[in-house]
Structure 1
Amino acid sequence: MSVSRETTERLEIYCSLLQQWNPRINLVAPSTLTDLQNRHIADALQLTDLAQATEGSWVDLGSGGGLPGMVMAIAKADTKVAFTLVESDQRKAAFLRTVIRQAGLPRVTVLAQRIEAIPPLNAAYVSARALAPLPQLMAYLDLHLAPSGTAFLMKGRQWKTEIEEAKRDWSFDYVAHPSRTQDGAAILEVSGVKHGA
């Protein structure tokens, strides 16, 4: 996907900070640092094509090194979408706040708390990447996703099995979008989450 010059500049700031901080706090697997663009940035940017959000609240759960939440926040910096990045690790939260400051992202905040300890955020959009198995993610969505909201969950090759497991205790609608960066992986667009199969 093509991005604006401002977005490219902000992504460069983000990547530079990620490379500086990674040796100290392991934000991404060190082996992936040489291929940040394809392995992480392009992967996260897939969400901008799927989520045509121009306003509302977006919550990224377990943001870690900012994937996909920070990349999405940068890509949507010229919209009215307000981003909340949830990351309980204080050092990773400090990294995310540094990116916000240096990249100039006024509509992005960091919550350095555990996902289940935060009062319901009632978000229009929720995202997560490599955070937890789908049944556990459903409990997080039940807590933080607005009833009419949509979640975008980046899942690996086992996503079909995870859906079967989640369907035992949860009812939800989903569309599986094939990942453009990893064979067999998918981005699950989830809505209508309710406890009870």
Structure 2
Amino acid sequence: MTPAAFATAADVSRETLARLEAYAALLVKWQARINLVGGATLADLWRRHMLDSAQLHRLLPAQARVLVDLGSGAGFPGLVLAAMGVPEVHLIEADARKCAFLREAARVMGVAVTVHNRRIAEVAPFAADVVTARALAPLRELLVLAAPFLGPDTMCLFLKGRGVEDELTEAAKDWTIHAEMIASLSDPLGSILRIGEVKRGRATA
């Protein structure tokens, strides 16, 4: 996928595309020094990473302002969503080298984000409008990590691959959730879990 094809698929402005092109160039440069993404995926960066992240934007609540991205890594999806206009994005990443990349990427893109260089469990709790995660942990564990950032109206958007039905079954042992599976635009085998209600404890009949 080319940047132009991405821009059409994701419906982004020229300004946003320019920010993401600067991000992509920096990612390729830093990838030679630290492992930010799977090396084999760089050839299809705009579909595998950019579109995979950008597709979440259309699912955000209209009033969403504060977004927490768990285990941000190279910044997908958090930095992409910041470039697309989410006002307050928090990127949580334990690896100091990846945090250095995230800060530099935000600088060259001209977007304001908050980078938390610590483990997710060490970040002081606060309620977010949206919590995102990509390739971080099975859903049952992911909900534990997300819990400190969940308010009564928080939406979770989790990018998932194959086996998501099994993850939902496992998560139901500890959580009552209202989840919707949405087909991925970037991966024919992937899906997005949109979770609008999360409560500890399994549902009772």
Q: TM-score, normalised by structure 1?
A: 0.94
Match of 2:38 among 29, 35, 56: 29
3-state SS of 2:188 partner: coil
Q: Deviations over 1:110-144 (max 9, x none)?
A: 00110011111211100000000100011122221
Q: Deviations over 1:77-115 (max 9, x none)?
A: xx5x20000011000000000011111112x11001100
Amino acid at match of 1:65: A
Q: Identify the residue that residue 152 of structure 1 maps to in structure 2.
A: 157
3-state SS of 1:154 partner: strand
Amino acid at match of 1:100: A
Q: Percent identity?
A: 42
Uncovered stretches (5+) of structure 1, i.e. residues with no partner = none
Tell me if structure 1 keeps the 8 A contact 2:175–2:200: yes
Aligned residues: 193
Match of 1:72 among 56, 72, 81: 81
Tell me if structure 2 keeps the 8 A contact 1:141–1:193: no
Equivalent positions of 1:57-68 (< 5 A) are 57-68=66-77
Counterparts of 1:73 and 1:14, CA distance in 2: 12
Match of 1:175 among 161, 168, 180: 180
Match of 1:50 among 47, 56, 59: 59
| 2:85 is the alignment partner of 1:85 | no
Q: Deviations over 1:51-101 (max 9, x none)?
A: 14454210000000011111111112xx5x200000110000000000111
Q: Identify the residue that residue 100 of structure 1 maps to in structure 2.
A: 106
Tell me if structure 2 keeps the 8 A contact 1:142–1:194: no
3-state SS of 2:56 partner: helix
3-state SS of 2:177 partner: strand
Q: Identify the residue that residue 129 of structure 1 maps to in structure 2.
A: 134
Match of 1:2 among 11, 16, 27: 11
Tell me if structure 2 keeps the 8 A contact 1:178–1:187: yes
| 2:167 is the alignment partner of 1:166 | no
Tell me if structure 1 keeps the 8 A contact 2:16–2:83: yes
3-state SS of 1:153 partner: strand
Uncovered stretches (5+) of structure 2, i.e. residues with no partner = 1-9
Q: TM-score, normalised by structure 2?
A: 0.91
Counterparts of 1:146 and 1:24, CA distance in 2: 39
